[in-house]
Homo-oligomer: A and B are copies of this chain.
């Protein structure tokens, strides 16, 4: 880092953040052992990809310490990755780990040090404080009771993949009936049930609705009448041909958008994932994508709901320019973070540069952690801050001769201010 870069980075580290998307379980937000951390799919899938058989890490009878030991055997092959750099940063910051590498010789000491820290009563508080996280958004199943935790700290978000893409599965409908008390048999009861979910979530401080979408999906206004027969077949336990399944997905999706409008909730779109491409992969390490996708598929949606804000994440880095351009033109399209396969430093830097050059600064949500365990907020946001401060230093302070405070203010807006305003927290 140049001294300028370092100064901006330090300033961006100074203020606390709100993490607008994670998979934290608010009842067990922090880790209990290093296995919670090294069991993150990034490590299991990379270790598996590097040669570790799935059975060696996924048998139910493997204890946490044993699991970590087995993953450590493969760590040397992953040391180059950005993901392993998160792990090192995290171990250094939280557990005082000072070795250059995690090896078969030193991992047990690290494991035990971590366990001791994690056993402290206020560990969760410590992590939040050290990580400078004020609030963390969740990803809640639609039938989550949303009780037993502080929804001002852990902000609920209604995740809707199952409703849109797995409505034909009996489990989806049973859980919906149980959660809402409404048995869906037609489009009227479907709308009622969805309405009940939104009311429940909004009453529990939910600040967003969210969904991940395959590259093939194109939202369209499919009305209740069109799916009446389809819904009856589903209710009767029948199968759907693909075109009917698609109509039903489009109908449910459009109904969700209508409810976002009614309840003034932003609708997070995470565009571009193909599920279970590698079905023999480890847990959560099976999904990939097809870069042949376009935001033109969302044209009708963006035009039909000018009152709904759509924070959009794209999985393919090749989609970033479309995202920049659509956010530049559509008032209701907002750029949102750096998702999954695009969440590596070189792509984050390219994408950050393009966004900051062409999207109004009030329409950029810089980053979210996507984390499952609280300890990952720190290294992930730090990676992003490092890149953002570099872009601010190069582009604004050096090239445009802005005073440093002005560049820092821009960074604050992208890191925190826009999250507050867009999600209303």
Contacts and interface: CB of A to CB of B under 8 A. Distances in A.
Interface stretch (A122-130, A134-142, A228-236, A316-324): A316-324
Which of A279, A296, A328 has the most chain B CB atoms inside 10 A of its CB?
A328
A81 B356 CA distance: 6
B361 A77 contact: yes
Contacts of A327: 49
Interface in A325-381: 325-331, 341-342, 344-347, 350, 353-354, 356-363
User: How many copies of this chain sit in the oligomeric assembly?
Assistant: 3
A80 interface: yes
A294 to B, nearest CB: 4
Interface stretch (A13-21, A110-118, A263-271, A283-291): A283-291
Contact of A278 (B79, B302, B358, B403): B302
B294 A49 contact: no
Nearest to A354: B346
A145 interface: no
A364 to B, nearest CB: 8
Given A294-B290, A328-B45, A77 B360 contact: yes
B288 A361 contact: no
Contacts of A319: 291
A167 to B, nearest CB: 24
A403 B99 CA distance: 13
B325 A288 contact: yes
A19 to B, nearest CB: 22
Nearest to A282: B329
Contact of A318 (B318, B360, B402): B318
A28 interface: no
Nearest to A85: B400
Contacts of A225: none
Contact of A303 (B80, B279, B303, B321): B279
A281 to B, nearest CB: 6
A237 to B, nearest CB: 30
A79 B325 contact: no
10 contacts: A49-B327, A49-B328, A49-B330, A80-B410, A81-B360, A85-B400, A278-B299, A316-B322, A324-B341, A345-B357
Interface of A: 45-46, 48-51, 77-83, 85, 100, 274, 277-281, 285-286, 288-296, 299, 302-303, 306, 316-319, 321-322, 324-331, 341-342, 344-347, 350, 353-354, 356-363, 395-396, 400, 402-403, 406, 410
